[in-house]
């Protein structure tokens, strides 16, 4: 029976090498995955040459193996990995195609080799070459991704680490594709919803600048010559014109100072917790963040538990992908409660971190013994809630902006027209 030598990563991240007797390569891949290993490279073991031809054939075999093991010539990297950045669309294509290749039975080593030749974007080729070389050097895939902080966010890297730990890297890549697509669709929907209001905002701002810059000074001079008294709305508009033209630099300094102060506060640990907590309670925006994390938390936890990752290790991984310091602090308290013997649903409910529906469904899964499946169901529920929330907010943004612009422009127009009517009335009453 043919033999296949392999190199893989075990659940603790260590390198494992060995040999399997299998009828073909696909069976070897399945056996390695059943051992909870992430295959990196699988090669057929070539039978030893006959003794009579020991010298020349062995040398020939050795020389012929060198070109196969050598990587193809690639343009030398021109951008350090720490500064390399690619478009979001290219990251989505890379993740999706790598997921397809792994699901088709390729190893990471082979998948990255294929993508290095298939993807034509220069920076993507540089990235793929560096990732492939890191695997050849014995590093894990998640460790190699950390060399590209401007390409792969923390959630991406930690989910890949979770996939390596659980032996479900293709499934995790599929979830990452869905996550990236969801983020792209969310951004596209918001941008499309804001195109018309943005046009109105620019037109309204241009109209107000024209009124305040040109018409207000002329109106003030004309009223001063005729000895008229400006109405209250017009006086307010004139005062605003005076502040805008004379003290704009003070407003600019205040804005810059406020931004720098907030950024300095957020850099502290306490400030980061406070800011991330405030984000979760912002109207509309906070609801989107919360529902997205509920779905992400339950989906990731369910996937990890389905693939045999212990609960405490799973909690560590879902804490790392939170991307929110306030949530990380709360989940650390949850982990301590679980260590002390509490059920996960009870620990989460005590922190008031998740809604009652979430913890109630989780408690049912704990009691029935179908925890992983229940977590996947919870993820479906909150993904639907997230989609409804995004659609609602996208539908509300345009009319809100239109109303605000209408009020501001209406006030400016009313201020000018009221002054014109006041002057007209005063001219008519004069003898």
- Do 82 and 149 form a contact (C-beta atoms < 8 A)? yes
For position 15, what pLDDT does the model report? 76
By C-alpha distance, which of 9, 31, 36, 35 is closest to 21? 31
pLDDT in tens, 268-284: 888 888 998 998 888 87
User: Which range, 26-30, 68-72, 225-229, 345-349, is most confident?
Assistant: 345-349
Angle, helix 356-368 to helix 371-429, in steps of 10 degrees: 170
pLDDT in tens, 323-348: 788 988 899 899 899 888 888 999 99
| Strand pairing category for 38-44 and 15-21 | unpaired
For position 261, what pLDDT does the model report? 92
For position 428, what pLDDT does the model report? 58
Phi, psi angles (nearest 5°) of residue 377: -65, -40
- Of the listed ranges 77-81, 118-122, 332-336, 391-395, the one predicted with least confidence: 77-81
Q: Residue 8 carries which DSSP code?
A: E
Q: Strand, helix or coil at 192?
A: helix
What share of the chain in percent tops pLDDT 90?
8
Chain position carrying tokens 């001063």: 224
For position 223, what pLDDT does the model report? 66
Distance CA 276, CA 272 (A): 6
DSSP of 308-327: T--HHHHHHHHHHT---HHH
pLDDT at 31 over 50: yes
By C-alpha distance, which of 141, 183, 176 is closest to 155? 176
For position 61, what pLDDT does the model report? 39
DSSP of 32-85: HHHTT-EEEEEEEPPPPPPGGGTHHHHHHHHHHHHHHHSPPP-PPP-S-TTT--
For position 77, what pLDDT does the model report? 44
- Do 404 and 397 form a contact (C-beta atoms < 8 A)? no
Q: Strand, helix or coil at 21?
A: strand
Over range 296-304, report the average pLDDT.
83
Over range 183-201, report the average pLDDT.
74
Over range 9-13, report the average pLDDT.
67
- Of the listed ranges 187-191, 221-225, 384-388, the one predicted with least confidence: 221-225
Q: Which residues contact 226 (CB under 8 A, 6 or more apart)?
A: 423, 426, 427
Query: CB-side exposure of 4: number of CA atoms within 13 Å?
Result: 21
Integer angstrom CA distances of residue 297 from 112, 276, 420: 29, 17, 62
Beta bridge partners of 18: 6
Distance CA 226, CA 422 (A): 11
Model pTM score: 0.63
- Do 111 and 39 form a contact (C-beta atoms < 8 A)? no
pLDDT in tens, 364-409: 998 888 888 899 899 889 888 888 888 887 778 778 878 887 888 7
N- to C-terminal Cα separation, the chain:
118
- CB neighbours of residue 386 within 10 Å: 22
Query: CB-side exposure of 155: number of CA atoms within 13 Å?
Result: 15
* Per-chain mean pLDDT for the chain: 79
């Amino acid at each position: 029976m043919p033999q296949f030598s392999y190199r893989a990563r075990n659940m603790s991240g260590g390198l494992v090498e060995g040999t399997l007797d299998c009828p073909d390569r696909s069976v070897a891949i399945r056996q390695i995955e059943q051992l909870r290993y992430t295959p990196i490279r699988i090669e057929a073991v070539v039978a030893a040459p006959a003794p009579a031809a020991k010298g020349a054939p062995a040398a020939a075999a050795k020389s012929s193996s060198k070109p196969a093991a050598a990587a193809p010539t690639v343009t030398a990297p021109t951008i350090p990995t720490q500064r390399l950045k690619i478009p979001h669309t290219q990251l989505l294509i890379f993740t999706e195609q790598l997921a397809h290749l792994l699901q088709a039975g390729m190893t990471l080593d082979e998948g990255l080799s294929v993508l290095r030749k298939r993807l034509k974007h220069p920076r993507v080729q540089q990235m793929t070459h560096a990732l492939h070389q890191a695997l050849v050097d014995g590093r894990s895939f998640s460790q190699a991704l950390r060399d590209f902080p401007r390409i792969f966010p923390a959630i991406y890297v930690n989910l890949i680490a979770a996939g390596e730990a659980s032996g479900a890297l293709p499934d995790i890549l599929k979830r990452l594709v869905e996550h990236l697509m969801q983020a792209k669709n969310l951004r596209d929907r918001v941008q499309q919803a804001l195109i018309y209001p943005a046009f109105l905002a620019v037109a309204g701002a241009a109209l107000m600048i024209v009124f305040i810059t040109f018409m207000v000074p002329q109106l003030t001079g004309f009223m001063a010559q005729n000895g008229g008294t400006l109405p209250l709305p017009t006086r307010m508009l004139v005062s605003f014109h005076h502040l805008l033209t004379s003290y704009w630099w003070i407003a600019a300094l205040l804005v810059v100072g406020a931004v720098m102060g907030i950024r300095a506060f957020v850099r502290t640990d306490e400030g980061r917790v406070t800011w991330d907590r405030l984000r979760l309670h912002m109207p509309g925006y906070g609801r989107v963040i919360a529902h997205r994390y509920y779905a992400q938390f339950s989906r990731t936890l369910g996937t990890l538990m389905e693939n045999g990752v212990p609960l405490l290790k799973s909690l560590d991984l879902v804490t790392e992908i939170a991307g929110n310091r306030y949530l990380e602090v709360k989940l650390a308290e949850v982990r301590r409660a679980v260590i002390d013997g509490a059920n996960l649903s009870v620990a989460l409910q005590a922190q008031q971190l998740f809604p009652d529906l979430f913890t109630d469904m989780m408690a049912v899964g704990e009691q029935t013994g179908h925890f992983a499946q229940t977590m996947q169901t919870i993820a479906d529920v909150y993904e639907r809630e997230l989609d409804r929330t995004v659609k609602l907010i996208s539908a509300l943004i345009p009319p809100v902006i239109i109303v605000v612009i209408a009020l501001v422009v209406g006030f400016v127009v009313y201020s000018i027209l009221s002054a014109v009517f006041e002057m007209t009335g005063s001219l008519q009453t004069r003898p």
